[in-house]
């Protein structure tokens, strides 16, 4: 029979600091699954297409940085142990996306966004506040966020050059995972946010995508 380990507040803060470092430091995350791009062939793309794909993948990488921060913030303040465990598990799955995007960006000869620490801090704060309000709101925020991410992934999949099968394989698997996270959050009792709240989240997402496409 296994017992669940109980962490003190100091332990949790140290774990959060470690998670932040592993999220923000280059090549410090370890994926649980290999990248779907590994089995896809290399393709020759024009310089313009390469820069565009790198920009799209940089947006997705920053999105995963935000997801890590959001889940970690929510796990820190979640009231029910099962909700905290669900947040921590989701954060582990998002590490795969983070690493896959980072690997692809460097294959394209580009860099991750220098704004990542800023977006990490903002997302962590939002997640922590949502968790403080209630687990229902916290789970609802996860669902709304993941639906927004899926929308961006669909848009990016449409913009990818047909020959870039590596990036396509990554984004398609990410979409599958994000849809599952959204459904799981709602099934666990997440609050369905009204349209005005979702619109506000969409505006914030546009700020992130516009700013990280190049920097």
- Check whether 97 is labelled as a binding-site residue: yes
Contacts 24+ apart (CB under 8 A), 129-133: 129/73, 129/77, 130/73, 130/74, 130/77, 131/73, 131/74, 131/75, 131/76, 131/77, 131/78, 131/79, 132/77
- Check whether 64 is labelled as a binding-site residue: yes
- Check whether 94 is labelled as a binding-site residue: yes
d(CA 17, CA 84): 17
- Check whether 106 is labelled as a binding-site residue: no
Of the candidates 63, 147, 48, the one whose C-alpha atom is nearest the C-alpha of residue 100 is: 63
- CA dist 177 to 72, 73, 92, 205, Å? 18, 20, 12, 19
Phi, psi of 78 (to 5 degrees): -60, 140
Binding-site residues from annotation for Fe cation: 64, 94, 97, 146, 178, 181
Binding-site residues from annotation: 64, 94, 97, 146, 178, 181
């Amino acid at each position: 029979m296994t017992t669940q380990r109980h962490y003190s507040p100091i332990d949790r803060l140290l774990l959060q600091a470690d998670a932040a470092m592993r999220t923000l430091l280059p090549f410090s995350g370890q994926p649980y699954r290999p990248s779907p791009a590994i089995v896809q062939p290399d393709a020759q793309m024009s310089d313009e297409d390469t820069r565009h794909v790198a920009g799209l993948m940089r947006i997705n990488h920053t999105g995963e940085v935000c997801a890590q921060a959001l889940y970690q913030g929510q796990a820190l303040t979640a009231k029910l142990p099962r909700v905290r465990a669900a947040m921590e598990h989701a954060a582990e799955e998002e590490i795969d996306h983070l690493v896959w995007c980072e690997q692809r960006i460097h294959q394209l000869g580009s860099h991750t966004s220098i704004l990542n620490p800023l977006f990490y801090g903002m997302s962590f704060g939002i997640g922590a506040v949502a968790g403080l309000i209630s687990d229902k709101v916290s789970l609802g925020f996860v669902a709304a966020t993941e639906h927004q991410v899926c929308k961006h992934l669909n848009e990016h999949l449409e913009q990818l050059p047909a020959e870039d099968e590596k990036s396509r394989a990554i984004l398609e698997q990410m979409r599958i995972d994000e849809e599952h996270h959204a459904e799981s959050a709602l099934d666990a009792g997440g609050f369905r946010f009204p349209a005005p709240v979702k619109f506000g989240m969409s505006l914030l997402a546009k700020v992130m995508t516009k700013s990280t496409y190049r920097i």
